[in-house]
Amino acid sequence: MVKQFKFPDIGEGITEGELVRWLVKEGDEIKKDQPLAEIETDKAVVEIPSPYSGTVLKLHFKESDIIKVGEVLVSIGEKGEALPLEPAVEKPAEKRPAPSTVGEITESQEEIREIQATPKVRKLALDLGVELKTVKGSGPGGRIIEEDVKRVKEKEAGVPEKEPKPEVEAKFDIYGSIERMPLRGVRRATAKRMAESVSKAAHVTHIDEADVTDLAKIREKMKKEAEKKGVKLTYLPFFVKAVIAALKLHPLLNASLDEESEEIIIKKYYNIGIAVDVPDGLIVPVVKAADQKSLMEIAEEIQRLAEAAKARTVDLADLKGGTFSITNVGMIGGYAATPIINYPEVAILATLKIADRVRVIEGEIKIIKSLPLCLSFDHRVIDGAEVARFMNDLIHFLENPAQITSG
């Protein structure tokens, strides 16, 4: 018996995915739990295993197609087994108009029911003397449209068939050459998430800076220890530690808003999302229970997640459950930014480029290692004064790194 395997609901609110590639082909013998396809969904590429053993009778999509949850992916059955025919769309019998002088149609009532055509198209065929059973439909689902009937009539009359104009993708506009790039994969998912965040949250950005001169010295000392463990120690683990310390003093920034119940949900755990730049978009894996990890453990976890994100092997579970996000733009450059909140979180911190900058400190001109900090927050949940207090505490922990690196 043929089994229709539908794209399953894999949880986490996933409703669709893009078919990256098939791992089987029609006619293959497969076993239960054998991977059938790679599907990109919500910024992760996942393998979809077969729930059945048998022969692949039909693959219902091609690579790069968007598949909705519940649509049939694969038909699986016994070797040589025929696929069930799709049920014909039956239409109620129509009153047929009187035959025209051009010609008379002789379809039986059964043929009329099987032929997919609107009354208007049937009337045109009758007037032109074209038997619909000889016409191949080019409309949706094989439906016969007016152009199909006219084409058959012209062919019968000896009119040369017009060659269809190939669809040529425009490579120029009125100003010059252009290139078209499909919105797919990570870029498509990123676009949807960013639009959702901007449309739902009331974005405001607070900007400040921290003197991380001492932090830079501590990091330099700890790098050798990290290298021995095969870990690249960036500034990010220090930022995570400082953020958690500040969040514990300002819990409203570690929250989400339940609009339906009109409640602010304050999270008592600290799962920190780390934005990772990949070639075709942005992926935000999450360091779970970050408050319970040491600085080195956080560094190891960030490295693992970043490598998996770039290799597109990150697990879906690693992309969920975030309570606050950090985007480290500074590793590339820049002095200020207005990051978009990773909805449904209520705040995101952008850390910009650390650089030697001149500042006046207690009446003296000094050169410090300055770290610009830009925090976007949802003004529906948090007020600017609370964010300013959060930033003051965050800066305190960054400027006193011994408080976040011990233990």
Angle at 257 between CA 255 and CA 260, to 5 degrees: 150
For 73, other C-beta atoms within 10 Å of its C-beta total 22
DSSP per-residue string spanning 143-155: -B-HHHHHHHHHH
* Per-residue tokens: 296: 């080195």
User: Which candidate, 254, 255, 225, 251, places its Cα nearest to that of 237?
Assistant: 225
Residue type for 8, please? P
Given a contact cutoff of 8 angstroms between Cβ atoms, the answer to whether 394 and 357 are in contact is no
Residue whose structure tokens are 């039986």: 108
CA gap 122, 141 in Å, rounded: 17
Residues 54 and 77 sit within 8 Å (Cβ to Cβ): yes
User: Which residue bears the tokens 């989400």?
Assistant: 256
Provide DSSP, 99-144.
PPSS------HHHHHHS-B-HHHHHHHHHHT--GGGPPP-SGGG-B
Q: What would the DSSP string read from start to end of 225-290?
A: HHHHTT----SHHHHHHHHHHHHHH-GGGSEEEETTTTEEEE-SS--EEE-EEETTEEE--EETTG
**Cα distance from N-terminal residue to C-terminal residue, the chain:** 61
Distances in Å between the alpha carbon of 328 and those of 150, 237, 374, 396?
Answer: 62, 11, 10, 19
- The DSSP annotation for 17-68 comes to EEEEEESS-TT-EE-TT-EEEEEEETTEEEEEE-SS-EEEEEE---TT-EEE
Q: How far does CA 407 lie from the centroid of its chain?
A: 38
Rounded CA gap, 123 and 342, in Å? 57
Q: Annotated catalytic sites, by residue? A: 379
- From residue 375, alpha-carbon distances to 181, 182, 203, 212, 237 in Å are 32, 32, 10, 17, 18
